[in-house]
Structure 1
Amino acid sequence: MARRGGPASGPGTGGPATRGGHGRLVRRVLVAVAAVVVLALVAGAALVTVAVRAPVPDRAGRQVLPGLSGPVEVLRDARGVPHVYADTAADLFAAQGYLHAQDRFFEMDLRRHITAGRLSELVGADEAALEADAVIRTLGWRRTGEAELALLDPATIEHLEAYARGVDAWTADRSPRQLSLAYTVLGLQVPVGPVEPWTPADSVAWLKALAWDLRSNYSAELGRGLLLAEGLTDERVAQLYPDYPAEHPSIVRDGETERPVGTQGAPVPRLPATAGPALVRAADALAAVDGLTGLAGSARAGGTAEGLGSNSWVVSGQHTASGAPLLANDPHLAPASPSTWYQVGLHCRVVDDDCPYDVTGFSFSGMPGVFIGQTPDLAWGLTTLYADHTDLVVERVVGDAQERDGRLVPLQVREEVIEVAGGDPVPLRVRVGDSGPLLSDALDTLRPLAGVVDGTAQTDAQTDAQTDAGTGPDADAEVEHAVALRWTATEPGTTLDAVFAINRARSADEVVAAARLLDVPGQNIVFAETGVGGAVGYVTPSAVPVRGAGDGLTPVPGWDSAYDWQGDVPRDALPVVVDPARGWLVTANNAVLTPGGTLDTALYLGDDTDLGYRARVLEDRLAALVDRGDVTVEDMLDLQLDATSPLVVTVVPAVLAATGEVPDGTTREALDVLGSWDGDQPVDSAGAAYAAAVWVEVLARTFHDELPPALHPDGGSRWVRAVDLLLDDPDDPWWDDVTTPGVETRDDVLRAAAVAAADRLAAELGDDPAGWRWGALHTLTPTHTPLGGDAVPWPVRRLFNLPERGLAGGISTVDAASYDAADGFGVTAVPSMRMVVDLADRDASRWVDLTGVSGHPTDRYHGDQWETWASGGTFPMPATRAAVEAAATVRLELVPAD
């Protein structure tokens, strides 16, 4: 059982803020930040104090919110978490918009600029911003979000409009400098215009960002395609993408749900090598967007960002001390300041059909409603499903037409303009085919390959050969390859209807019905009903495509319509489990259904899930708890902090066996520490530090010589399994370093890794292995975007960021404080919040956010939960009026304009 030490700090590689979209955005504001520092020196502390304190809102007393039908009461606790009490749903969501804008408006504005492909309008002519705008416009996030409005329930539209009124009520009479210090900094470098009114489309478009960051196997599919294009055999590529381990648990057990006909097609034939450059350009487009939204960190082309996922589980009352269910959830996302979530309570004073909400939980700033939480009747949690929602489609293109079944079909072409704050507008040309937008086009406008062979145009001989084989459109045509993205999220859906339906749900059946409205992002939902004997269950909501051909694992040929999708799996065919016989359920991004079923008996959701190491630990520990028969909230909280590493039973035994003859010295002492390591990863563990260092070296020495940097292992569950299987063959070719004249074996690599890891830690942490500390390497600084990166001057970083802390946990552990093994030990993904709901007593539930509700760096509610989160603590989660009243420290009355 893992226990945390206190928060620690020390040297290390830091967090992910300097990589991906987040880190690159800081470049644009360096001059502005320097100007702020100069102003501080010239104008004096008093002037600076006024500038930094001005945006912090007054949250007490009486304030006017135009459009309300009656007074609304807001009670905040000691951490500033607001509970809203209103008589109508419209007033409730107007107040939520008002509060989100009070506390997080810059974050909201940044998000809407990102999702509309308008980031350059906010930060100026930054290369990273322009690239992100080009890719997001090519994908059409905002266009799809606007189209969704026509599909949503009228009540959802009313809630969105009320929310927008609340946002505008806060921003209407305030300049940007009064809304956030970030605007003041940006305004020293680029023009910052007046704030635009908020619209329903601004809220809905954020769903596209969520879907993108939780989109399943796009990166893994691209990685396979790139490796195959480089000439690796199917067998060697398969070694790097191993099957789900049969010994690891699935979410749904045999017999718990009817299993419909599968949707997996046959494997895809190898694509021509000439498609490789187009895949590389698609990878560049991926890199331009990933990490930008602050949800998923920065994923490289070979797989999803390590640690992106979540844990959730539910235990029925037959196993709890109270006789009522318990539910736990901790979504794993990229760390940021302010955090991803905004805690809130939304309460109709009288709950009826006209005002049906009484919900407490976690919301997103910029969107109405609660995404994870509890009501008087039930609680629910979410984890990423990892269903395969995407296919990369390699197209043969001639001019502005694509080949389809031997004939040319015109592409849709639209001309757009990216406006740039303080700079010239940039034209953008977007092409969309039958399979979706041409992602490989996205950066061409910004980075034309003038005078350089781009590799996409085939030679005349290649074109002639394809024409002779009946695969080309015209022997005289110039054929190029492009890569389109076929993605369920490019079709408008009803996900926001699902959010409100779950907020209103009063039973397990209503949760299941609400879940059917959710399209993307694909999620697992666990739920539990209130009270003794309350039902527990699980439902899979998602738009899961049916493939005509292809298995979803590698890019497919777009010129053959046999690979087109054939619609979605019927929603009522997706798995549902209510009151499983064993009385509990676990989801940890693992396989939904038992692996190994044949296509006519198993629903195919996709193969690129987490490989189940977290799920294995959770299942084993929960089995022991339920055998005891009196599971408590404290047990659930303790389980969320389990930091047991899979390396202790996979790589570590092999390393110890291969290094038995290592002579005395630092490496020998380090190996002795490793031999006594129990697999736990608290901040003060020497064994955890050395195990991680050895793991990084093993991966580098095994794979870096043959894989391009973008595909270097991140060390996640896929790589744990791949190396575990390779350990069975000491002479597998992956062990050999192709850059040396000799032929290395498994034991050569393991011995060299052990020595190199010891040398590295001795240099960084001292010569005594017993004194090494995991928390000195494995650090996190919650970092503001775009003003918190390492290139920003220290005084401003200190203002916007939170203090660095060493963290427990690691890769593929329940306490998933992950790192990218190709980039050091700095934390890249974390449990973004933790929640345990007691269905016997709503007010006995517990929660904690990574940072806090406020985005204002000088606010008392900015980062006030960070120390508690880092040490594994939680706070009470009051839900009833009496408990909210008892916890209230600040009261606000919102009143109509009249």
Structure 2
Amino acid sequence: MPRRHAARRALVVVAALVVLALVAAVALAATVMRRPLPDRDGAVDVAGLSAQVDVLRDEQGVPHLFADTAEDLFFAQGYVHAQERFFQMDYRRHVTAGRLSELVGADADALASDRVVRAMGWRAVAEQEWDLLAPGTQAYLTAYADGVNAYLGATAPEALAVEYTVLGARVDLDDPEPWNPVDSLAWLKAMAWDLRSNYDHELSRALTYATVRDVDRVEELFPRYPYDRNAPILSGDDVRTVASPAGVSLDLDADLVDALEATERALDALPTLVAQGEGRGSNSWVVSGEHTASGSPILAADPHLALSAPGVWTQMGLHCREAGEQCPFEVSGFTFAGFPGVIVGHNADLAWGLSNLGADVTDFFLHRTDPEAGTYERDGEDVPFDVRTEVIEINGAAPVEFAVRSTVHGPILSDVLDLGRVTGSPAPEVPRRSSIEVALGWTALEPGATADAIFMLNTASDAEDVAEAAAALEVPSQNIVFATTDGQIGYQAPGRVPVRARVGGGPVPADGTWPRPGWDSRYDWQGFVDADDMPAVVDPPGGVIVAANQPVTPRGAGPVLAEDWDYGYRAQRIRTLLERQVEAGEPVDVESTAALQMDSWSPQAELLVPALLEVPVDAFTREGVDLLRDWDYTQEPDSAAAAYFASVWSNLLELTFQDDLPHDQWPSGDSRWIAVVTQLMDDPGNAWWDDRRTVNVVESRDEILARSLTAARLELTVSLGKTADEWQWGRLHTARPLHPVLGGEDTPRVIRSVMNPSPVGVGGGSSAVNATSWHAATGGFEVDSGPSMRMVVDLGDLDSSRWVDHMGVSGHPASPNYGDQLEPWARGETFPWPFSRAAVEEAATRTLTLRPGS
């Protein structure tokens, strides 16, 4: 045989072997990916159940559980959560216990997260909460944990989740620990942290002041809420007046930059589990039956949280076969894997939505410390720190040991990442031996009974029940809007909110918007707002309640809950459109409500476009500007005008502010920055307009507007093409939920492609009702948070209600229900939400029977 033929034959054989190897690898990968998929049909004997539980799943894989006792119901919920989402549960408990390094190995980000969580003591606080809970709550949490452990005990570790297989190639993993009820309570700390209030604004003011050195200029970047433009949730007639604390003050002459930046770095080290930035928002509203097609109230909710894979929520129905005193649960909605019950949803009598109240529940206390002596100053005396040692175990590496120092105000955070002692330039009255360090005061670091509130809401039937639940819902502080099948609508503010003292003196307020002097006890919290004083209303005139993170009451009415709020553009848009619909005599129904959730109107555009159209530009730029002339300000995915305007807005913020502010304070473009620019538009010569990077030139407003228009035209020409009217917002503005462990660039591409769904183009934007937020300072337009789910409940016919998640029910990427709701969610579609047994059975495609076993 000629040599070249033999060589060719050898190449063919080698190629065939390579193909076979690839096929085998793909087959093996498919096997590994599919191994964790749980049984969704048939019957399983499960030790721990007292009677049979039926699990009916619909086409989207949503499970509806039917049981005879509450304990069996929550046992089965734990079992099903573990079937679909155990790695997510395990990841969450590692984060909330400060043990992430034990799961993922030596990783700088994981270690930083562990240090901060340990310093705050999330798990320790959760352990203290156990004894505060009602016996029934303890029983439900225990039953849930038993259900999780029943699944773990019957499932091989490699069959729990593909993540363990991938991580097992990096580190040696032990079998997962049994689930403990405190693991569920600790998750509430993560939820409370991500939904905290203004701590970022509080730090931002101080850090901005360090650069600007002018309190008045700093306050221009944090405008007061525009009550004359955007309405609060309740009118002044709906609440009693409670005395508000006068402005208190703090002298910030000391150079606190290092300590504050160290604190900011520490808190930024925490992974986002629920929300971040403007993502800590939500829309929720309710319309009374006098304005609806069904004659009964309609309630809508769409919490704006981080978009993750799998999603934050998982949909589920929990049904006692015969609901009564012994088994009172007949509830359906959105659950957290790792916690029993339903967080947002409806039962047979009442529907409720939650949106972030935004109450100011955190303060940074500045402490004069003597690191050598181990003391801090209080009212002129030296007080010893409360010191404890934490040891972080790291998978595959030596453990890390560090000391946590705590004050009466909470743990010192400015040194938690071991950045060394931070010594500021002292003010004249600060002794030279002192350092300035930062402690965190946060209401969630005191144990409470929030877990009780979840089950109380699940069984509530009227406003009195909601108020009772709200009194227990201490953290996170959430707006509760609700409606009943009897026709009642209402609002209730819950939460543990600090009362701040009346103290005077100094150039900046200490009303919770700036750090406070921890060395002076007059600035300590003076207790908490009484639950009976928290704002509430039932059946207000007008028949519409909108809660979208704006202030709860007019200024001066009701207790002082916060000074920093979302600026109300979403809330006002919702209210305006509902009032137009009511005035036009068009009944509100499920379809129109779902359409309102997708409203993409831009408040920034209403502010800027009229002025932009008046700015002289060259012919090339005019092709972009012309897109804005007939634009209706809606940011649909196919809109060329929306794409151009977003780029203009981003460039305007860069040109106006980046020259004056430190990098970590560059504008995000959220509702605060809309309010800032609104003020500046009426002051064309304001110093903020001047770009200090241009030598011997002082820019005014119109010059910055013109440069923004030109820069945006050039930017989109490069990214989307030269023909302006072919641009599309959805090509820039994409949503891609990421896996928290296997979603980053350090994960092999083939794994990332499986764990993370493909990006989808979406409409909406920051401060739109369809709040698909993006951060202007990143240089891109990708969604960083958005409506994590959407639900619309018709209290006249619960089975006609609709819902959608931003991902899907399953946490297994090989499941058809891992990301099957993402594209419908992006398009604004929703799915039927069956509730009655008949409707659930009609929608069911699979049934799993859990039987008592030995």
Fold shared per TM-score above 0.5: yes
Counterpart of 1:254 (choices 236, 242, 245) is 236
Counterpart of 2:159 (choices 178, 182, 186) is 178
- 1:322 maps to 294
- 2:481 maps to 526
1:679 aligns with 2:633: yes
Q: Secondary structure at the match of 1:424?
A: strand
Q: Offset at 1:226?
A: 1.1
- 1:765 maps to 720
Q: CA deviation digits over 1:857-896, x for unaligned, max 9? A: 0011111111211111000110000000000111111111
Q: In structure 2, what is the Cα distance between the partners aligned to 1:174 and 1:702?
A: 58
Which segments of 5 or more consecutive residues in structure 1 lack a partner in the other structure? 1-36, 298-304
Q: Offset at 1:570?
A: 0.3
Counterpart of 1:587 (choices 530, 541, 547) is 547
Residues 333 and 832, structure 1, Cα contact 8 Å, conserved in 2: yes
1:441 aligns with 2:408: no
1:339 aligns with 2:315: no
Q: In structure 1, what is the Cα distance between the partners aligned to 2:184 and 2:813?
A: 24
Q: In structure 2, what is the Cα distance between the partners aligned to 1:626 and 1:116?
A: 50
- 2:12 maps to none
Q: Secondary structure at the match of 1:374?
A: strand
Counterpart of 2:356 (choices 381, 384, 388) is 384
Q: Offset at 1:791?
A: 4.4
- 1:691 maps to 645
**Greater shift after overlay, 619-628 or 404-413?**
619-628
- 1:235 maps to 216
1:412 aligns with 2:371: no
- 1:636 maps to 593
Counterpart of 1:708 (choices 651, 662, 670) is 662
Residues 534 and 558, structure 2, Cα contact 8 Å, conserved in 1: no
Q: In structure 1, what is the Cα distance between the partners aligned to 2:240 and 2:471?
A: 17
Q: 1:724 to 1:69 in 2, by over 3 A?
A: same
Amino acid at match of 1:837: V
1:157 aligns with 2:138: yes
Q: Offset at 1:175?
A: 3.4
Q: In structure 2, what is the Cα distance between the partners aligned to 1:834 and 1:857?
A: 22
Residues 431 and 441, structure 1, Cα contact 8 Å, conserved in 2: no
Amino acid at match of 1:636: T
Amino acid at match of 2:300: A
Amino acid at match of 2:50: S
Residues 587 and 615, structure 1, Cα contact 8 Å, conserved in 2: yes
- 1:479 maps to 434
Counterpart of 1:662 (choices 591, 603, 617) is 617
Q: CA deviation digits over 1:799-830, x for unaligned, max 9? A: 11112111010010000011001111000111
Residues 648 and 678, structure 1, Cα contact 8 Å, conserved in 2: no
Q: Offset at 1:794?
A: 2.6
1:65 aligns with 2:22: no
Q: In structure 2, what is the Cα distance between the partners aligned to 1:144 and 1:189?
A: 32
Q: 1:663 to 1:272 in 2, by over 3 A?
A: closer
Q: In structure 2, what is the Cα distance between the partners aligned to 1:509 and 1:332?
A: 28
Alignment of 1:113-152 (within 5 A): 113-152=94-133
- 1:894 maps to 850
Q: In structure 2, what is the Cα distance between the partners aligned to 1:41 and 1:206?
A: 42
Q: In structure 1, what is the Cα distance between the partners aligned to 2:230 and 2:600?
A: 18
1:545 aligns with 2:498: yes
Q: In structure 2, what is the Cα distance between the partners aligned to 1:455 and 1:514?
A: 43
Q: Secondary structure at the match of 1:672?
A: helix
Alignment of 1:44-59 (within 5 A): 44-59=25-40
- 1:612 maps to 568
Q: CA deviation digits over 1:697-751, x for unaligned, max 9? A: 0000001011111101100000011011011111111111122221111111111
Q: In structure 2, what is the Cα distance between the partners aligned to 1:743 and 1:267?
A: 37
Q: Offset at 1:308?
A: 2.6
Residues 436 and 484, structure 1, Cα contact 8 Å, conserved in 2: yes
Residues 346 and 359, structure 1, Cα contact 8 Å, conserved in 2: yes
- 1:27 maps to none
**Aligned-residue CA RMSD (Å):** 1.6
Alignment of 1:553-564 (within 5 A): 553-564=513-524
Q: 1:231 to 1:692 in 2, by over 3 A?
A: closer
Q: 1:350 to 1:405 in 2, by over 3 A?
A: same
Q: CA deviation digits over 1:43-94, x for unaligned, max 9? A: 5222222211111111211112221111111111111100111111100000
Q: In structure 2, what is the Cα distance between the partners aligned to 1:547 and 1:845?
A: 43
Q: How many residues align?
A: 824
Which segments of 5 or more consecutive residues in structure 2 lack a partner in the other structure? 1-17, 504-509
Please report the TM-score for the alignment, with normalisation by the length of structure 2.
0.95
Q: Offset at 1:266?
A: 2.1
Q: Offset at 1:270?
A: 2.7
Q: Secondary structure at the match of 1:828?
A: coil
Q: Offset at 1:194?
A: 0.8
**Greater shift after overlay, 877-886 or 229-238?**
229-238
Q: In structure 1, what is the Cα distance between the partners aligned to 2:177 and 2:648?
A: 52
Amino acid at match of 2:249: V
Q: 1:192 to 1:455 in 2, by over 3 A?
A: closer
Q: In structure 2, what is the Cα distance between the partners aligned to 1:680 and 1:542?
A: 36
Q: Secondary structure at the match of 1:706?
A: coil
Residues 307 and 811, structure 1, Cα contact 8 Å, conserved in 2: no
Q: 1:39 to 1:592 in 2, by over 3 A?
A: farther
Amino acid at match of 1:796: I
Residues 358 and 477, structure 2, Cα contact 8 Å, conserved in 1: yes
Q: Offset at 1:306?
A: 2.6
- 2:6 maps to none
Q: Secondary structure at the match of 1:414?
A: strand
Residues 175 and 195, structure 1, Cα contact 8 Å, conserved in 2: no
Amino acid at match of 2:451: L
1:863 aligns with 2:819: yes
- 1:535 maps to 488
Amino acid at match of 2:801: S
1:357 aligns with 2:316: no
- 1:83 maps to 64
Counterpart of 1:647 (choices 597, 604, 615) is 604
1:221 aligns with 2:181: no
Residues 650 and 777, structure 2, Cα contact 8 Å, conserved in 1: yes
Q: Secondary structure at the match of 1:255?
A: helix
Residues 809 and 818, structure 2, Cα contact 8 Å, conserved in 1: yes
Q: Offset at 1:358?
A: 0.3
Amino acid at match of 2:836: T
Please report the TM-score for the alignment, with normalisation by the length of structure 1.
0.90
Q: Offset at 1:629?
A: 5.0
Q: In structure 2, what is the Cα distance between the partners aligned to 1:457 and 1:441?
A: 13
- 2:533 maps to 573
Structure with higher RCO (Cα < 8 A, 6+ apart): 1
Residues 73 and 891, structure 1, Cα contact 8 Å, conserved in 2: yes
Q: In structure 2, what is the Cα distance between the partners aligned to 1:833 and 1:138?
A: 32
Q: In structure 1, what is the Cα distance between the partners aligned to 2:174 and 2:514?
A: 45
- 1:872 maps to 828
